[in-house]
Structure 1
Amino acid sequence: MKSLLVTLGLALAAAIGLGAGYLLWDTPKNWYAANVNKLGPGAENDLIRYGRDLIVDTARHIGVNAENPAMRYAGNDLACQSCHLNAGLQPFAAPFVSTFATFPMLVDNQVLTLHDRINGCMTRSMNGKALPDESREMEALIAYIRFVGKGSPEGVRVAGMGLKPLRTPTEPPDARRGARGYAKFCAECHKDDGQGERKTGSGVGYNIPPLWGEASFNAGAGMAKTAYAAAYIHDNMPYGIHYEEPVLSVQQAWDVAAYIISKPHPPAPPIAAPELQ
């Protein structure tokens, strides 16, 4: 009887262990949980932390009004996370998680490196000039992007990367309808004139970014494309929503995107790396 109980006990333990193994095997990894605050001291971790700071507080370090004139690489005071929300860790808000693992890539029969991709943002979304490849700032951005994508499969974009595909609208995007949608959903934060809200006190940059005008992204940026802007708006705006519970309808998102893009933006640069999701 004792041996039977031992046998049953071992069998039950094995079954529980096997079941737990399957549960663990089937548990999806949260690729969007990277946290620089958990990093210890050290030069490499300092570089990663600086990379995150560049993304969150871009204007202070390399914006058009940066304290050091030699560091004014951007042509505006936007932050990288004005578009790449939560320091590049928000699903379907152009996150960074799979970025390092998918570069270099072939685009239009040209090899595009991660340096090229970053400088595509610098010259278009930031309306500025390229960061030198050997600069500490470029090294820091790449270190941070590598860190948030640690362990992600090479050459694969994990779920939530880029933008969530948005259905074609029932009617063609209309900027006039978009103006009404903007007034209803966007103007409270981005203001009637689209110029957002600057940081107060000694801060440099914006709490809420401008959407058009000289201080905004230029006409070559990804956000200057109606389909890109509509998908982004639908799943991320007003700020704080979850993509599974959008506030704007598909048609409203397309219309608001058309309205924003109809406004003046700086011209696109003559040559720049492609702007990707």
Structure 2
Amino acid sequence: MKQISSRENALYKELKQLASSASARRKSGLSLLDGTHLCTAYLQHRGVPQQCVLAESSLHNQEVHTIVSRLEEQHANVIVLTDALYNAISQVENGVGLCFVVPIPCLQAPDVLNADAVLLDGLQDPGNLGSILRSAAAAGIKQVFCSEGSAAAWSPKVLRAGMGAHFVIDIFEGVDLKSLIASAKVRVLATSSHTETTIYHADLKHPIAWLFGHEGQGVSPELMELATTTVTIPQQPQIESLNVAASAAICFFEQVRQKLL
């Protein structure tokens, strides 16, 4: 293990940049996973991280000790920071003092859409994006496509909300959704309050690309016109609309329900 106790250490400065700067993450192609749940999921599905970063006090935590032992067996790069230094990079209150530095996958979107997928048009909130990724993974959807202007999928906030979903699905960012929809071999469904077909009366047994949009503006009119059909989620009229992450979860699991029939 390498010990770091100085704020002037070059590696520590890089870690602070990764924790706080989206541009630093884009430039380096790296992000941070904070906490035992995300780190354990990464080990299970992706393997050894580029670096493991610990707070000194975490070495007394049994979960952390187990993870570090696995890493040392595989000769991983482990760095120990003083608690004060670690707390300055961690965005998790009362965390255990463990994070991984991991590469951000750079995936090329397929030319043709031919399987269940999620298309996100300008989704802004990291919590919503992470929740949608988590629901998609739980529903067995393997591909998520994010347009330009969407929240960064591998930011620490989205990673925490995704709870490990990132490691079991393919996430494509900066995608031209218009071209992708135009080439789709599956139906593209969008939710809308201006249709009478409910999610429970639509046929969802076959592959579908679900299209969701910006929290305030929804799906752009241009993309909405390209959707194969629109469906609505029945709700009480006192509430104008559902949160986009809640809407997505309802759609995904109604599809799961129908496939089980």
Q: TM-score range by the shorter chain?
A: under 0.3
Choose between structure 1 and 2: higher helix proportion: 1
Choose between structure 1 and 2: higher strand proportion: 2
TM-score (structure 1 length as normaliser): 0.24
Considering only CA atoms, is the larger Rg found in Structure 1 or Structure 2? 1
